[in-house]
Amino acid sequence: MTDQIRKQGSAVTRDVQITFDCADPARLAAFWAEALGYQVQAPPGDFESWDQALEAMGVPPENRNDASAVVDPEGTRPRLFFQRVPEGKTGEPRTGRPDAS
């Protein structure tokens, strides 16, 4: 989980991202965007689609589903980031925090 604190005037805001390992980032992003009322994150700049952006960045077609993200349109809930991993689930979920002792 990425946790970044910014100070805006007298208020403190916190940007949070939750990252998921998965086999098909685009599919999971579309599912969770629909389920939570989120939106698939828009491509950068003036690109009309992620395919256009990734092509311009030189990303080969076979790597264009390596990651996807969804965002809360109101900007109040965490960004969800989905990244492709080569292996399937083999054990306990990785939570990004050390085990409590």
Q: Where are the domains of the chain?
A: 16-84
Long-range contacts of 8-17 (CB under 8 A, 24+ apart): 15/79, 16/78, 16/79, 17/78, 17/79, 17/80, 17/81
Per-residue pLDDT tens over the stretch 48-85: 999 999 999 999 999 999 999 999 999 999 999 999 99
Q: What integer pLDDT is reported at residue 97 of this predicted model? A: 52
Q: How far apart are CA 64 and CA 60, in angstroms?
A: 7
Q: How far apart are CA 64 and CA 58, in angstroms?
A: 10
Give the pTM. Answer: 0.74
Q: What integer pLDDT is reported at residue 13 of this predicted model? A: 64
Q: By C-alpha distance, which of 81, 69, 77, 70 is closest to 13? A: 77
* In contact, 16 and 3? CB cutoff 8 Å: yes
pLDDT at 22 over 50: yes
